[in-house]
Structure 1
Amino acid sequence: MARYDIVIIGGAIVGSSIAYYLREEGFAGSIALVERDPQFTHSATTLSAASIRQQFSIPENIRLSQFTLGLFRRLKQEFGADADITFHENGYLILATDDGLPVLKANHDAQTAEGADILLEDAAALSRRFSWLSPEGIVAGAWGRTGEGWFDAHALLMLFRKALRTRSIDFITASASGIARDGNRVAGVTLNNGERLEAGIVINAAGPNAGKVSAMAGIALPVEPRKRNIFVFEANDRFADMPLVVDPSGIWWRPEGSVYIVGGAEIEEGEAAADPTDFDPDWPLFEETIWPVLATRIPAFEAIKATRAWAGHYDYNTLDQNAVIGPHPEVTNFLFANGFSGHGLQQAPAVGKALAELIVHGGYRTVDASAFGYERIAANRAFRELNVI
């Protein structure tokens, strides 16, 4: 039986960020990073749309992404001269109808108060700025002029994983199958290979599987996997100035090299947890839901061809679509880094930094994550993010 000071369950971007910043903050104890899918074939990290934005509705989410943006700005200083995640800083363009305008304005106020470079324009101004855009049914939009865009998720993950190999982290390929409790403490983690790890601290960074991992410790966490489809399509026209566009319908799209990707067609109301083995794209969504929206919003997209697609799962917080970060208030050596509801990739470095500071220094210093604590889960008190994409 091996013993570790910290066992992190989940070794993708969230778990790897936590391990990385623990060492950066000076934690000298033993760390095990447990990951069941070391090639990250079905990881939420690598199957995501790999984007970063500051256009959230609450300051705490804006700050998490701003920390990651700062990391992007100093990537070579942090990880070496060859570090590159192909960051395309084209921004997000979030469109609103008349009904959605008050929320768009309120969100914009919150974003600019945090220093985000977001421009709010009416439909006429947007049409002049983006000649390919049809303003039909649109009254305004918010565009991130800087500090938003998309990048290579796998490259970012590999930067963290490579750095960890020089920081005395034990990589364990396995799944957690049980968590032992000793009163109000977790004592260890049992793996599906029969091995048991004694642990001083257990951190749940299990992504879409986080709810099940918490249940192993006898703790309720309203996080479950939700399936999301991303389709790749070709179009005759290329628009170099195109941001990631979010239609009021919830459908979004952006350029990806010589093609485009699009998603957001799923209906969340009444949606059930995903079958953890289902990674087959739901092709009818493209023909029936996505294509009509694309053709309406961008007339040049009336003639397009879908070429391929993929599906992934993300960790959806059914209470408020917001992260759960920090220790359980009673089982204090069990920590959460879960429920990001599609924002985990862009917020992971900040969460890693925050939890590392909490463990090493006894409190948050750089990014205050206390608003995301489990206490609200226990009280069934939503801390809702309105700008979920």
Structure 2
Amino acid sequence: MSDRTADVVIIGGAVMGSAVACHLSMRDDFDGRIVVVEADPAYEICASARSAASIRQQFSSSVNIEISLYGIRFLREIGAELAVDTDRPAIDLHEGGYLFLATPDKLDILRENHRLQQQLGADIGFLDAAALKAKFPWLEVSDLAAGCHGLTGEGWFDGYGLMQAFRRKARSLGVDYLPAHASLDRQGGAWQVRLSSGDTLSAPVVVNCAGASGGPELCRQAGLDLPIVPKKRCVFTFECRDRLERFPLLIDPTGTYVRPEGTGYICGSAPPPDMDPDCTDFDVDHGLFEEHIWPTLAARVPAFEAIRPGAAWAGSYDMNLFDHNAFIGAVPGIDGLFLALGFSGHGLQQSPAVGRGLAELIATGGYQSLDLSPLAVDRLAANRPIVEKNVV
């Protein structure tokens, strides 16, 4: 590598790192050299490639709702936003909506969340049990008080395609991608990014987008300890004999989810806390499907009593144990270090807004469009968690 200096080094080149690189390289007021370092250049095990890839506005915190309101606008226009010459990317966006279901003890929370979502402009419908049964006749509602359904602006898409679209656009604008593991050191007012290839990059700005596999260790090397750990999440597929019309991304009150995928369905659920250790392997826990997910879904959708299980895979969340929300932005007291870590399963849907926001912050010193400061890392020291009631 002949040029060992850069203006910005982004460590982690999956969807988040590539979104930051893409947005920064598209800015007219930034012409510096951007280098992305990616330890998994084939993207075989990154969370972006193994995610169920969906987007929702049904959060309980304003900043998360606003992030996804921008995200859906971006995804709808991705062909124009990330075109390279005449090649327009497509991500197969399906706006089938989330359907959050609530038992009577959670009805007040559902109503409160719905009011906030509507106030911010999200297109979410509130349905009592009778309305749920009328709209979704295949649904078991006897234990439910109500549900909220994303009428527009929520759904699922090709997450790998989104990552590759950001990456391709960034490379077309001159961003360099280097396949290597990275470590951090600080010398003479600049960051020294040491690569497993033996090279070292010197840069005034480093953006840590390395996820749970490398992000926390890079922070420790910079003098920052964050409660971010890898948690394994399994995704299961199955076919159903009956055709169920207008099936959304359904969130059972237990947190188990299911949505259409092709001619079948995909589903998953977080394991119980006492069976959810920090984990870096990708072995599928088939017992979770057989003992919890399938019985839960069959009780909620009786047609799922007769299914044919299919393929399954595992991926990882960079789980923020503090409050299950990302740390985004500059690190106070550590010059030139920026974070986009701890997304806890929301990284794909939040990447358009976070990429844009960090590009603004790096280029201008502040957020110009959507204020992401509620997600700043200083909330950890201040013990100021973001209380998100819709954790899936």
Q: Normalised by the shorter chain, which TM-score bucket?
A: over 0.9
Query: What residue is the counterpart of 1:324 in the other structure?
Result: 327
* 1:51 correspondence with 2:54: yes
Closer/same/farther in 2, CA of residues 186 and 222 from structure 1, 3 Å limit: farther
Closer/same/farther in 2, CA of residues 179 and 364 from structure 1, 3 Å limit: same
Residue 98 of structure 1 and its aligned partner are, at CA, apart by 1.1
Give the paired residue count.
385
Query: What residue is the counterpart of 2:198 in the other structure?
Result: 194
TM-score (norm. length: structure 1) = 0.96
Residue 186 of structure 1 and its aligned partner are, at CA, apart by 5.5
Name which of 207, 220, 232 aligns with 1:227: 232
| C-alpha distance in structure 1 between counterparts of 2:167 and 2:100, whole Å | 33
User: How big is each residue's C-alpha offset from its partner over 1:304-345, in whole Å with a ceiling of 9 and x where there is no partner?
Assistant: 121110000011000000111101110031001111111000
Residue 182 of structure 1 and its aligned partner are, at CA, apart by 4.2
SS for the counterpart of 1:33 is strand
Name which of 45, 48, 56 aligns with 1:42: 45
| C-alpha distance in structure 2 between counterparts of 1:267 and 1:9, whole Å | 32
Q: Is the 8 A contact 1:233 1:259 kept in 2?
A: yes
Aligned residue runs from structure 1 range 100-119, under 5 A? 100-119=106-125
| C-alpha distance in structure 2 between counterparts of 1:203 and 1:357, whole Å | 13
Name which of 269, 275, 278 aligns with 1:273: 278
User: How big is each residue's C-alpha offset from its partner over 1:352-383, in whole Å with a ceiling of 9 and x where there is no partner?
Assistant: 10011111122101111000001112223212
Name which of 232, 243, 250 aligns with 1:245: 250
Q: Is the 8 A contact 2:318 2:341 kept in 1?
A: yes
| C-alpha distance in structure 2 between counterparts of 1:138 and 1:186, whole Å | 57
User: How big is each residue's C-alpha offset from its partner over 1:40-68, in whole Å with a ceiling of 9 and x where there is no partner?
Assistant: 11010110110000000101001111111
Query: What residue is the counterpart of 1:207 in the other structure?
Result: 211
Query: What residue is the counterpart of 1:137 in the other structure?
Result: 143
User: Unpaired segments of 5 or more residues in structure 1?
Assistant: none
SS for the counterpart of 2:193 is strand
| C-alpha distance in structure 2 between counterparts of 1:84 and 1:218, whole Å | 41
| C-alpha distance in structure 2 between counterparts of 1:269 and 1:60, whole Å | 30
Name which of 302, 305, 309 aligns with 2:308: 305
User: How big is each residue's C-alpha offset from its partner over 1:217-265, in whole Å with a ceiling of 9 and x where there is no partner?
Assistant: 1211111111000000111012240000000111000010111000014
Closer/same/farther in 2, CA of residues 375 and 186 from structure 1, 3 Å limit: farther
Query: What residue is the counterpart of 1:168 in the other structure?
Result: 174
User: How big is each residue's C-alpha offset from its partner over 1:274-306, in whole Å with a ceiling of 9 and x where there is no partner?
Assistant: 1x2x10110000110011111110111111121
Residue 199 of structure 1 and its aligned partner are, at CA, apart by 1.3
* 1:236 correspondence with 2:241: yes
| C-alpha distance in structure 2 between counterparts of 1:39 and 1:293, whole Å | 36
2:259 counterpart letter in structure 1: R
2:58 counterpart letter in structure 1: Q
Closer/same/farther in 2, CA of residues 218 and 270 from structure 1, 3 Å limit: farther
Give the ranges of 4+ consecutive aligned residues of structure 1 lying more than 3 Å apart after TM superposition.
268-271
Name which of 9, 14, 17 aligns with 2:16: 14
